[in-house]
Structure 1
């Protein structure tokens, strides 16, 4: 049976909710994942094999893309005997406390460890399946960890091999959590690596990473030099395909930061980027969702200066075609998220609303799409509908970490939109309180982030409510632990 295919579109909602609470059930029948970190590392030491960790959540769209595009593929199963596979779901008992120990936060995070527990590298989930598998093979065979390679590159103590540069260039900087950077400035570190790298493909990838990091830090690289580098990349079809994740992921940020609205440089850059995205939209080397993601970025690029002819009809047709082809639940979840988001980006709110409503009955995580529906209601200015969707999403969500996150989102939306409604705010606080007090890892990792969000917001609330005060006391007690 294919990975994750045990989810059926026609299962009853209660069946799907139970399955959502065991996000590992789909993988166990194929690869035999461990779900306990201590047991996995014990087996790794006993068998002298590395540990491959997948940290994720059943509702997370990139996690679902990962399941459909990689974890279910024969190539991954072929490599699996060479490592100990470990899957930790963010809603599993004690998961957030374990995430503190392993320095995990963002879903998904992929880490390869040596048998002794030392990190070899953190792997990006955005790569295409074949590229990811090649990178994983390099990491499994690597004589040095990413940390050792970085130290050598920064110090100049020895020359790095081409494979070391490939692993550093493809390191998952977004999920690093301070493990490789260890307090170093990201933009400066990437700039040094780019200058030292003598492997052309890796050097280009490092250059893109360094540029994005510098602009994100409000640094000011030479816009003409940076734009010229981007234009050279976008003009080369092979390079565009090799850097597909960066071409789609960094597009809007880089165009906005490097060019002024309606300027000649912006028009030239958006036109070149639109051509590159058009190439990716039709590439058989990409998954259906990756092709749809490229179209979504082209829609966003159109708003920056590169219009798309016949946009509305084209988008409706593409979303319909993509959904018709994406029947496997994990892939469909991601395609729904991308397609609905693209329709929203294009201003087609009614179409996005219809797509999401139709998805609720068959989705294995309908509460996730209720958040999207809340966002659409907010864009329409319908505060009541927005709050109702946030509340429904929280009430139907499952898993302690997810329920805390969804509950916090609803409470914060209430405080922002209806700060004078002390009764509804108090009721939400009263409902959150027993869930919070029953959590053993409420102050850990992603959970801790939600506690701080709620506490900071409630401290600034000017209303009066016994339930609010009770939740504030509980939040403060957990945060101080």
Structure 2
């Protein structure tokens, strides 16, 4: 993840100035940390192509850009946006000059629209021109004030990010604001629109080098993003100058604050790339990183989620040379106590439902990451009645029990999470998770596995979007797990019955967009050599 993760001029003053070709920066509100108000964003709910076409028709008529927000009720980063960005008065005011469209991943046509717009991960924020060109994807993981700045840069510039990137790669001169758009582009939700994932570290490094003369801060951000994207610790050429640049950021409170999200969410990859092997060089970097993260954790200007992310990064770095599957890592007792104290404090402080869904789930995960399973379970259980999506917490409880070897308890939680989950895409995702747990933890329970798989196929039959995007991936996971369960042919009778059921489902599926082919391939018998 991750995770993980997941945006006005006054209407009268700027009413005639909102075509993207002539958008005036003077019409953009200054960014400020505004207090929440009773007002809210006037999202237009979209459930299909007709709703999207209506939104873009309005955008063309009113010469307004379109902001598309793709999310889900349960998603912690989505809830973080609701708690820190969508309730800001400056964001609310800005969106009065935008056609703001909300695409809930669980509405009937959402997953098909997900295919159209190339969105997968929740949340994704896309800014479009009124003629449908994608201007940029906003970084939902960044500080809310930074996201506001990126939104306003996108509005003021008006050039699609693809055009800006093409000029940057060709060595053409860009403005500082255009470099910022590249630096704050949501590379994590790009979905290979601009670059294949495997090529991203090299591209970001190329951009970082190009940005350096125009905007040093953006150049630094791009370097950090390149290092964070270099997941295997190889492939990027690291020299003394780059290492020194990162050290400088870590030593500067102001520079580290400006790069909070990059430093926190990319910490292990950054360290592994700069110092590939355990030893004095890595330890020196870890010490500097620890000091920088402690400052961020204590920075009251950051949201609770961002401060918790800094603590999470400290834990990840403390575990960097420990076995990955260590259930009870040997960590500094003081760090363990800090994690416990932080989780307890956040549990008492946070009353907003959106913030709880975002932060308390992260705190519970962090307790587990440090091997404090009892405390993690207690926090999740005490939060079930306070969550608007308790099935997310139930699934986490299932994961906790599974990691501790409590198979029956894990399956009970996974089953309850599936039963309580809401929305077609969410139910397929939670059901796929439950089935995977059954195949792994109770492979002998053929009746139960058949029942759950059959229920998922029955629900897919009622959902016209079941073979698009996230839902399709959930069903493909079900098919893969069932095929693996039947690897030796010992459950061929069960799969035969499920194939019969699936044949009936597939016969009703539209042949467009490879939907039927996806359906028919789920349990297709392997070819015999």
Normalised to the residue count of structure 1, the TM-score between the two structures is 0.89
- SS, match of residue 306 in structure 2: helix
- Over the aligned positions, Cα root-mean-square deviation in angstroms equals 2.3
Q: Find the partner of 1:411 among 435, 440, 444.
A: 435
Higher relative contact order (CA 8 A, sep 6+): 1
1:100 CA drift (Å): 0.7
Cα distance in 2 for partners of 1:218, 1:466 equals 46
Matched, 1:269 2:285: yes
Partner of 1:283: 299
CA contact (8 A) 2:39 2:92 kept: no
Cα distance in 1 for partners of 2:364, 2:196 equals 38
Partner of 1:170: 184
Shift of the 28–106 alpha-carbon distance from structure 1 to 2, 3 Å rule, reads farther
Partner of 2:209: 195
Partner of 1:13: none
1:466 CA drift (Å): 5.0
Partner of 1:480: 517
Note the 1:11-410 alignment, pairs <5 A. 30-36=40-46, 37-156=52-171, 158-181=172-195, 185-197=199-211, 198=213, 199-216=215-232, 218-222=234-238, 226-259=242-275, 262-304=278-320, 308=332, 310-410=334-434
1:112-144 alpha-carbon deviations (Å, 9 max, x no partner)? 000000000001001111111111111111131
1:85-107 alpha-carbon deviations (Å, 9 max, x no partner)? 00100001110001111111100
Shift of the 222–182 alpha-carbon distance from structure 1 to 2, 3 Å rule, reads closer
CA contact (8 A) 1:150 1:168 kept: yes
Structure 2: segments with no counterpart, 5+ residues: 1-36, 47-51, 322-329, 507-514, 519-529
Cα distance in 1 for partners of 2:412, 2:93 equals 46
1:300 CA drift (Å): 2.3
CA contact (8 A) 1:299 1:308 kept: no
- SS, match of residue 237 in structure 2: coil
Shift of the 378–155 alpha-carbon distance from structure 1 to 2, 3 Å rule, reads same
Shift of the 397–184 alpha-carbon distance from structure 1 to 2, 3 Å rule, reads closer
Q: Find the partner of 1:457 among 470, 474, 481.
A: 481
Normalised to the residue count of structure 2, the TM-score between the two structures is 0.81
Cα distance in 1 for partners of 2:333, 2:396 equals 27
CA contact (8 A) 1:270 1:304 kept: no
- SS, match of residue 347 in structure 1: coil
Partner of 2:6: none
Shift of the 267–121 alpha-carbon distance from structure 1 to 2, 3 Å rule, reads same
How many residues are paired up? 454
- SS, match of residue 73 in structure 2: coil
1:330 CA drift (Å): 0.2
